[in-house]
A and B are shown apart, each in its own frame.
Chain A
Amino acid sequence: MNGPQSSAIANSTPVSGQGDLTDEQLMVDFARGSAEAFQALFSRYNKPLFGFFVRRIADRSMADELTQETFVAIIRAAPRYEVTALFRTWLYAIAYKVLRSYRRKAFFSSEFLSAEVPEHSVGPTIETALLMREALRKLDRVEREILLLREFEQLSYAEIASLLQIPLNTVRSRLFRARSVLRNLLMQPPARTIDPNLAITKEQA
């Protein structure tokens, strides 16, 4: 698998004795009380989960917070975990719920409490990231989500359909449409001038 996830796994710190185990085996071990298994899962999915959030809400500190929140949710849900699907699917389903919850709270805070939504408080980034965000923002909400889940989280069509609760064929047709629209957007010159200060700022490692 040549996606962001696989690279994250490859870069993650190996945990002695846990490297050969599958995610599902690790989760079962963790549900039985193995802290090392959780450490291994954390190492594998910390970056992918952070990527999941940071690509969607831009605010790095908030993305960090939601990543931690997702791991806490996993710990709490561990006693009820059953190997009926891929751990990865289960994980992103939880992350998606956390994200939706955050978005709802942020929306209602901004709508009714006049609170600032940190959605646009973009941290240090690079030109590519800005272009991506601009292009993705122009996509339909569901199409954007399908595209991100496929390209970055590497979920299958069936997994995406299950996560977003839409038919499988809809996933396929809308993913194709999203890719086509995105390609046109990315090939066009940018509609507005990008802030040079932001453009030259290097992303912090």
Chain B
Amino acid sequence: MASLEENLIFSIEKFQGPLDLLLHLIRKEEMDIFDIPVIRLVEQYESYLQKMRDLNLSIAAEYIYMLSVLLNIKAKMLIKGKSEEKEDDPRTPLVLKLMEYEKIKKLADELKEIYTIWGGTYSREEKEEILFIEDVNIYQIVEAFNNILKKLKLREKPSFISVKRPSIKEMMVSLLNFLPKNKKPFPFYDFLLTLKSGLEVITAFLSMLELIRLGSIKYLIKDGKDEIYLIYLKDLPKDLIFGEYS
């Protein structure tokens, strides 16, 4: 008996959340999804959670939330008694969710099958020189900047606090002057090394974003290394009003 229990318990971890667990229980107990015996389902569900607790597994908040949803439905059904009208059946929203989730599970299985076949086909590899990701998302650029900050921290030495607060305007000009004009990617980190304080680094980051927005530079992220590279495109527009940046 113990081994059977253990098997049950070990299977808990393979569930992809409370909906998955509920579907499993409904199928296992051969319940009719359109007429779920809520009381039995709640019992089963609770005993699963109890087993998880006994094993000291941490239970995700979503499982507890689902329990409260189930109890709510159970309570409503007890008050209402057996009603024939399907429309105000308190189980309906949950059933719809379960069915939608089951659909996704099937589609996920199909995708997995396709991937098993086509994920293992290979074409000419992209050339080594193509090192940069151009289609960068926000997570990558933030992560890249975080890595830079970490790297900078390692070499930070105590120094005099600079009294002068750098302005974004000045920083934009000096960053743009710093970049090589041959349109080759240049590591942003190398520019940051010339700066003295954390405040200047942050200002430089903001200036970089501003220059990107104005189209004066382009940024790339080195694949796998999360390093920001910048490419000089053109000078700042002459009629740019600096008053916007303080």
A and B: bona fide binding partners: no
Interface residues of B (CB under 8 A from A): none
